[in-house]
């Protein structure tokens, strides 16, 4: 092992540790931090972000990366670390320290403002922070460089290799081909009955216990991770031995917490599945957020909303809730969790309409970054698109434009990764079905471990040794397209609603 690599490894370890600390500060802020600590947390986060930026920008790091860039003796993982860290450093060195600190402080205060505005249902309280974050992100995009589309520079931070020019036609095709299915379901005479859900009050303590059972069944290691409560479910991984998940609980709708557990559990399994040998290097981590999202959507929807899954887990559900499920079959549960109905809340949307929520957000944030939409006009534009795409209008901003936390962090360019995750998820499942002929038989028995292990071997362990699309293509043989996802939707929802593709 060369002296240059050993020195780089030490510097990478420090960078990774600093990133982990920032993640833990964020997790704490969203879960158990005292309400009055917001200002001091902003200062703490800004300090660590500044130190991280200084370490990334250090000239010696650049010298090491340059000297190792063409070193043929490096392993594939080491070459990946050099490549990935070079990309991150190049972006960091183009930003002045003052802008990095300004962003960190604004983000931390913005999250607190978002939480307050969401509670008061008034976007006007949050609008100044959106304006400030947009200005900062536009500056960053210009400093990073782009070919005329600022959004592309932001998108690279979440989905390397993706572009606005590629997303717009992909999403347009998806929207165009979703319309016949949405219309067919809207006019279908056959509809699942979810009445038993509304008839009952579902204790949050019972929900908590069932979500913990789901996480254990998935193979999520609760000695290397935990679940907590937050306003918006999310996952955060410091390393493979410390993965944090959060959930929220509603007495009127237990399935919201169940599917949040599966969703965040899918993210958590990915974080726990990275090769421990790559710990504190830049070969660990997901190649893209779309790939990360493919894991959560696979567990939440392809597995968790399937009939075999509920044939296995309905008995356990009855153990937890008893009278609330008296006389309710696995088939009825399956129907209830696959009701297609335009809704206000993205995280509670069904599989058929979910991507329309993403298209709406993609179009709005693209307009914000381009300067075609003023932040103060965001609620109106949001409501107009909600009515146009989904036929519903939010009664107030709390369940409308303020429902997601992402823009409070200035995460413009993040939302498209959700739809990309949906598209990738079907590719993974089709490949798993070919490799594991008895996959659905095992799922119907309640055994989810074969699927977890297949994903661990074929997706998780790879870390960021190769980019997202080449990895998907190598393992599944599929190109990025809307077609597999649309086939899946028709195959699943056709029988449920008695509709057929034209």
Contacts of 313-317 with CB under 8 Å at 24 or more apart are: 313/214, 313/217, 313/446, 316/210, 316/213, 316/446, 317/210
Could you identify the residue written with the tokens 């290097």? Answer: 281
Q: Which of 30, 264, 324, 365 is catalytic?
A: 264
Angle at CA 58, nearest 5°, toward 57 and 64?
A: 110
Three-state SS for 302-363 is: HHCCCHHHHHHHHHHHHHHHHHHHCCCCHHHHHHHCCCCCCCCCHHHCCCCCHHHHHHHHHH
Distance between CA atoms of 451 and 440, rounded to whole angstroms? 9
Q: What is the DSSP string of 37-70?
A: GHHHHHHHHHHHHHHHHHHHH-HHHHHHHHHHTT
Pairing of strands 235-239, 242-247: antiparallel
Which sign, positive or negative, has the C-alpha torsion 346, 349, 352, 353? negative
Q: What is the DSSP string of 257-270?
A: HHHHHHHHHHHHHH
Question: Tokens 């704490």 sit at which residue?
Answer: 28
CA 70 to chain centre: 34
Centre a 10 Å sphere on the Cβ of residue 198 and count the other Cβ atoms it contains.
Answer: 9
Give the C-alpha separation, 423 to 431, whole Å: 13
Q: Tell me how far apart the alpha carbons of residues 256 and 250 are, in angstroms, rounded to a whole number.
A: 7
- Which of 174, 158, 175, 333 minimizes the C-alpha distance to 259? 333
Measured distance CA(87)–CA(70) in Å, rounded: 15
The CA distance from 42 to 240, in Å, is: 27
Distance CA 163, CA 38 (A): 35
Structure tokens at 252: 């009127």
* Distance spanning both ends of the chain, measured CA to CA: 61
Report how far residue 324's alpha carbon sits from residue 454's, in angstroms, rounded to the nearest whole number.
36
Q: How many residues in total does the chain contain?
A: 502
384 is catalytic: no
Pairing of strands 242-247, 225-229: parallel
- Active-site annotation, residues: 264
């Amino acid at each position: 092992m060369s002296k240059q690599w050993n020195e780089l490894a030490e510097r990478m370890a420090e960078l990774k540790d600093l990133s982990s600390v920032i993640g833990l500060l964020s997790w704490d802020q969203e879960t158990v931090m005292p309400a009055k600590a917001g200002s001091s947390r902003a200062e703490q986060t800004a300090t660590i972000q500044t130190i991280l930026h200084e370490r990334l920008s250090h000239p010696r790091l650049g010298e090491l990366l340059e000297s190792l860039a063409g070193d043929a003796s490096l392993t594939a993982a080491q070459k990946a670390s050099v490549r990935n860290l070079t990309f991150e450093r190049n972006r960091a060195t183009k930003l002045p320290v003052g802008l990095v600190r300004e962003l960190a402080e604004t983000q931390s205060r913005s999250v607190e403002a978002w939480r307050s505005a969401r509670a008061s249902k008034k976007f006007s309280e949050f609008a100044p922070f959106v304006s400030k974050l947009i200005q900062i992100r536009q500056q960053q995009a210009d400093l990073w460089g782009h070919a005329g589309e600022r959004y592309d520079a932001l998108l690279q931070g979440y989905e390397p290799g993706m572009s606005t020019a590629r997303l717009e036609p992909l999403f347009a095709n998806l929207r165009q081909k979703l319309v016949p299915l949405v219309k067919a379901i809207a006019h279908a005479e056959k509809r699942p009955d979810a009445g038993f859900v509304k008839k009952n009050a579902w204790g949050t303590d019972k929900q908590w216990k069932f979500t913990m059972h789901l996480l254990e069944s998935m193979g999520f290691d609760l000695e290397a991770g935990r679940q907590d409560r937050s306003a918006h479910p999310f996952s955060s991984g410091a390393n493979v031995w410390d993965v944090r998940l959060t959930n929220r609980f509603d007495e009127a709708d237990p399935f919201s917490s169940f599917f949040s557990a599966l969703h965040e559990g899918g993210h958590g399994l990915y974080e726990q599945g990275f090769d421990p040998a790559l710990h504190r290097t830049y070969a660990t981590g997901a190649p893209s957020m779309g790939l990360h999202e493919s894991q959560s959507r696979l567990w939440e929807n392809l597995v968790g909303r399937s009939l075999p899954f509920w044939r296995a887990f309905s008995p356990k559900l009855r153990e937890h809730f008893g009278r609330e499920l008296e006389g309710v079959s696995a088939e009825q549960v399956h129907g209830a969790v696959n009701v297609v109905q335009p809704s206000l809340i993205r995280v509670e949307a069904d599989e058929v309409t979910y991507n329309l929520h993403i298209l709406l957000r993609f179009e709005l944030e693209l307009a914000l970054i381009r300067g075609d939409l003023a932040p103060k006009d965001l609620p109106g534009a949001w409501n107009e698109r909600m009515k146009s795409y989904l036929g519903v209008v939010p009664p107030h901003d709390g369940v409308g434009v303020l429902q997601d936390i992402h823009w409070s962090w200035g995460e413009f360019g993040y939302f498209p990764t959700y739809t990309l995750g949906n598209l990738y998820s079907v590719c993974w499942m089709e490949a798993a079905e070919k490799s594991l002929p008895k996959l659905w038989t095992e799922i119907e028995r309640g055994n989810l471990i074969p699927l977890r292990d297949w994903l661990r071997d074929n997706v998780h362990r790879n870390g960021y040794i190769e980019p997202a699309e080449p990895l998907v293509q190598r393992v599944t043989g599929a190109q990025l397209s809307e077609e597999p996802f649309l086939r899946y939707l028709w195959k699943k929802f056709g029988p449920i609603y008695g509709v057929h593709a034209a």
